[in-house]
Structure 1
Amino acid sequence: MAEVHYVPAVLEPGVLYVSDEYKIAMHLCACGCGSKVPVSLGPTGWKVTKRNGKPTVRPSIGSGQLPCNSHYFITDGRVDWLRAMSAAQTVAALKSDHGRREAYYRDLNRKPRWWVRLWKGLLGLVGLG
């Protein structure tokens, strides 16, 4: 795993480049086809953790939009292969990702319920808020 500010133009095989500032990770597809695989990070994307310098990426990485249809987990720097994703599974995963992002940002913009605002106001009045 390489923690970087910017992802380099030329990627090395077997290296996961992670830019926390830009909330992206990128690597060459684990199958060896040479395709660049971007992974968006954050509350609606993937999560990269590191143990003993080795990355774990969750959820799985499905390259159903690439000709190789690779699908795998990265766990402690090791690639754990899963079944290739069908076209229908790829479409379903993309729709699910889109729905998760929409729900997250919709909830961020939602005002707290009236009773939450009231409770916070009361706590503020008694000096506990």
Structure 2
Amino acid sequence: MRIELKHVEHMPSRLDPGILYVSLEFGTAQHLCACGCGSKVRTPLGTAEWQLQETPRGPTLSPSIGNWQKPCRSHYWILQGEVRWAEDWSEAKVAAGRARDHGRLEEHMAGEAGKRRGGFWHRLLRLFGFSN
């Protein structure tokens, strides 16, 4: 199965199979599950979430998509517009993956907060003794 990229501002209410809809403005991607079950799959885009790469052969979305909460439990990669199936994960592996992703997101958010604290206004306030 091939996946084509379509840039949109807002996600359409009806999705077509084989299309990865991407809203850069809202930092999200959405498509219908590659197994054909009809489930909508939403993937937030960002440094600590999914990354989108546009290639001449098609979109790459990483990491893999694991639909563990859906009845189909599909697990696949979208690599240069091609769906590549991956192995099913045990519940323990799913829990470990979620914990890893949560930790990665927390680390990213802590880094972003640190950048804001180190910004111009924070340094100015610190200079005048208003912040530590």
TM over 0.5: yes
Change in CA separation of 1:15 and 1:76 when aligned onto 2, cut-off 3 Å: same
> Residues of 1 paired with 2:91 and 2:72: CA distance?
12
Alignment of 1:1-129 (within 5 A): 1-52=5-56, 54-110=58-114
Q: Please tell me whether Structure 1 or Structure 2 has the larger radius of gyration of its CA atoms.
A: 1
> Residues of 2 paired with 1:31 and 1:86: CA distance?
19
> Residues of 2 paired with 1:103 and 1:34: CA distance?
34
Unaligned runs of 5+ residues in structure 2 are 124-132
- Is the CA contact (8 Å cut-off) linking 1:2 and 1:15 kept in structure 2? yes
Q: Residues 98-128 of structure 1, C-alpha deviation per residue, up to 9 Å, x if partnerless?
A: 111111111222356xxxx9xxxxxxxxxxx
> How many residues matched?
113
Amino acid aligned to 1:24: T
- Residue aligning to 1:120: none
- Is the CA contact (8 Å cut-off) linking 1:6 and 1:19 kept in structure 2? yes
Report the 3-state secondary structure (helix = DSSP H, G, I; strand = E; otherwise coil) of the residue aligned with 1:16: strand
> Residues of 2 paired with 1:53 and 1:75: CA distance?
9
Unaligned runs of 5+ residues in structure 1 are 118-129
> Residues of 1 paired with 2:25 and 2:31: CA distance?
17
CA displacement at 1:96 relative to structure 2:
1.3
TM-score (norm 1): 0.81
RMSD: 1.5
TM-score (norm 2): 0.80
> Residues of 2 paired with 1:108 and 1:32: CA distance?
38
> Residues of 2 paired with 1:53 and 1:37: CA distance?
22
Q: Which has the higher contact order (CA 8 A, sep 6+)?
A: 2
